[in-house]
Amino acid sequence: MTNIKIETANDGVTLSQDSPSPEWSITGKGGRTYMVFIAKDEAPAVITALQRAIGEEEA
């Protein structure tokens, strides 16, 4: 299992997760990182979707 790294900034949040890959890389270790940026004004919609996914939406 790979953890999600969360980085905050004034304009939003970046979520990233390492994904091992057999592809060649300059480090010789392969792998890549997948990243998603969530803008500050989009965060409420993302939070609502996550709450629904885990069944914690307020009535």
What's the confidence (pLDDT) of residue 12? 94
Domain boundaries, the chain: 5-53
What's the confidence (pLDDT) of residue 25? 60
What's the confidence (pLDDT) of residue 23? 66
Q: Please give the full DSSP string across 1-59, using - where no structure is assigned.
A: --PPEEEEETTEEEEEEEE--SS--TTSS--EEEEEEEEGGGHHHHHHHHHHHTT----
Averaged in consecutive runs of 10 residues, what is the pLDDT profile of the chain (59 residues)? 85 86 62 85 92 76
What's the confidence (pLDDT) of residue 18? 79
